[in-house]
Amino acid sequence: MTGAYMASKKTSSPAGKGAAKGAVKKFFQWTWGKIFKRSLLFVLLIALGGFLFNIDRLGNTGVNLLKFKEYLPGFIVRFLPGGTAQEGAAVPDEIISGEVIEVYDGDTLTLLSRINGQEKKYKVRFYGIDAPEAAQAHGTASRDALRGKILGRQVQVTVVSVDRYGRSVGKVMSGVRYINLEMVAEGNAWYYPDYAANEYELAKAEKEARSGRLGLWQESSPQAPWFYRKENRK
């Protein structure tokens, strides 16, 4: 009996040791695998955070990501410029400066102002001009033209008034460039005389754009956005 037991022990021992080694090996593989995955995730999150917090310094890469901001998950948008900024309230004759972080269409933007470590966002409507609505012909082209001029860049806005939606209506400057005028001169917006009488520079720019058939004036009879809104008002 004892001999049989000893023989059995000798023959089963190598298999048992092999199984034990295999179990230990699998355990370490599983453990190190989890550690590696978590470490990789941590590194990626750190890299993503650094990227998002410095997006305004990334030139065209940052600007291109801002263009698609509306399609990004909310938890990422919070880390983009202005993601947690408070809404600012400007008054007529005030001058606000900052980075353009959103362009909605050819005459509306969001400006992010940073003063003494505090961030404020201002919704700005361009004074004296009216760009095509998104669903109109040339609406997308007008928006893209404005994005190309100022998205991700510093601008200065002289506030003329505040509209019923709480937007700062103003004259937008990028360096020495008067962006309101550029949009009209290039055929990307109409002069809006009902809300900006006697703006002769804008009126002249529209006349020249019409004559040169620039931008939206390439169409034979483009519809002014104020008439389009009236027809499509619900």
- Assess contact for 115 and 128: CB atoms under 8 A: no
Give me the catalytic one of 99, 102, 133, 206: 133
Q: Provide the β-strand partners of residue 124.
A: 109, 168
For 10-44, write each residue's pLDDT tens digit. 555 666 666 666 666 676 666 766 676 676 766 66
Instruction: Note if the pTM is more than 0.95.
Output: no
Distance CA 43, CA 120 (A): 31
For 48-106, write each residue's pLDDT tens digit. 555 444 544 444 444 555 555 555 555 455 455 555 678 888 999 999 999 999 999 99
Q: For position 117, what pLDDT does the model report?
A: 83
Establish whether 213 is a catalytic residue: no
Distance CA 177, CA 199 (A): 17
Say if strands 86-87 and 154-162 run parallel, antiparallel, or are unpaired: unpaired
- Sign of the torsion formed by the C-alpha atoms of 210, 194, 134 and 222: negative
Establish whether 38 is a catalytic residue: no
Give me the catalytic one of 99, 102, 125, 182: 125
Q: Domain 85-231, what architecture?
A: Beta Barrel (2.40)
Where do the structural domains in the chain lie, given as residue ranges? Answer: 85-231
Lowest mean pLDDT among 113-122, 154-163, 182-191: 113-122
Establish whether 167 is a catalytic residue: yes
